[in-house]
Structure 1
Amino acid sequence: MPIVVTRDRSGKMKHIVTVRQHAFPIDEPASNGGEDAGPTAHELYDSALGACKAMTVLWYAHRKQIPLEDIEVTVDRDDSEERKGLYRLRVTLALGGPLTETQRQELLTVAAKCPVHRLMTQVTTEISTQLAAPAGTTG
């Protein structure tokens, strides 16, 4: 199922992302020419990692009957060397519930194995970009 990103002319840089039946705005902060009407593309990338870790840990805890009551994932970005090929993300997990230290460490290990973490660090992603046929023509 495709993800569609469409220009929203109500803002300078604003776009609407549609994923299945969900739609949300993306934008740039004013310092980058936008109006801060939504997260940036980089913030979506970073948040995908945090969301995946949260859901993976919660799924695992339920499956193993570990008494995890709450989870909060914080993702901090250091993109100061991105143009040199280094993009750093630091993830912090806050786990709530009557967990033993062994359970906490087990959940930390599981978080490092979430599918998005693996995509970002262990998989070669190939991207092809092409132009759609101009409106009013058949391809």
Structure 2
Amino acid sequence: MAERTVARVRDAQGSPLAVAIEVSGHHLFGDEPVGRGGANLGPTPYDLLTAALAQCTAMTVRWYAGQHGWPLEHVAVEVEHGKRIEAGGVEAVDAFRKTVTVTGPALTGEQKAKLIEIAGRCPVDRTLTGTIRIETLAG
């Protein structure tokens, strides 16, 4: 495993479902909304997953433009997550919809199109659409 990220989560006060999260030296809280048994003290797991995809997309677009010296002034990414049943399907599947906006008066149409293409190739996007293995061990 070339890169390794470790996230540690433990119970937190204030809600039956609240957790304290530590990852890469950062500390935050997670919870569920009141309607799902929490107290809405922090983002839900799906909130964090959706935000990770949006963050990675924006950073990848910004990086690519910088590598090529393109005059990207602003990138905005909106990601929606939900469950839906595909045509002819029985089980709901997770569906993400990314809307990527790139601006820069000097960007050509070709550059904008390439940046939108690159937005679909961020590492988190590749992880979510690739083969994933999760091993669960007793601690």
TM superposition score normalised by structure 2: 0.87
Pairwise CA RMSD: 1.7
Q: For 1:86, what is the secondary structure of its paired residue?
A: strand
Evaluate the alpha carbon distance shift between residue 125 and residue 105 of structure 1 in structure 2; reply closer, same or farther with a 3 A threshold.
same
Match of 1:120 among 111, 124, 128: 128
Regions of 4+ moved over 3 Å:
80-83
Match of 2:81 among 67, 77, 84: 77
1:28-81 Cα offsets, whole Å, 9 max, x none, are 001101111111001111111111110000000001011111111000122144
User: Which whole-Å CA distance do the structure 2 matches of 1:79 and 1:3 have between them?
Assistant: 25
Q: For 2:93, what is the secondary structure of its paired residue?
A: coil
Match of 2:104 among 97, 100, 108: 97
Instruction: Determine if the alignment matches structure 1 residue 32 to structure 2 residue 36.
Output: yes
* Unmatched runs of 5 consecutive residues or more in structure 1: 133-139
Q: Percent identity?
A: 34
* Unmatched runs of 5 consecutive residues or more in structure 2: none
Paired letter, 1:34: G
Instruction: Determine if the alignment matches structure 1 residue 110 to structure 2 residue 114.
Output: no
Equivalent position of 2:71 in the other structure:
67
Q: For 1:16, what is the secondary structure of its paired residue?
A: strand
Instruction: Determine if the alignment matches structure 1 residue 7 to structure 2 residue 6.
Output: no
Q: Which of the two has greater strand per residue?
A: 2
TM superposition shift of 1:10 = 2.6
1:96-127 Cα offsets, whole Å, 9 max, x none, are 21222111101001111111111111x21111
TM superposition score normalised by structure 1: 0.87
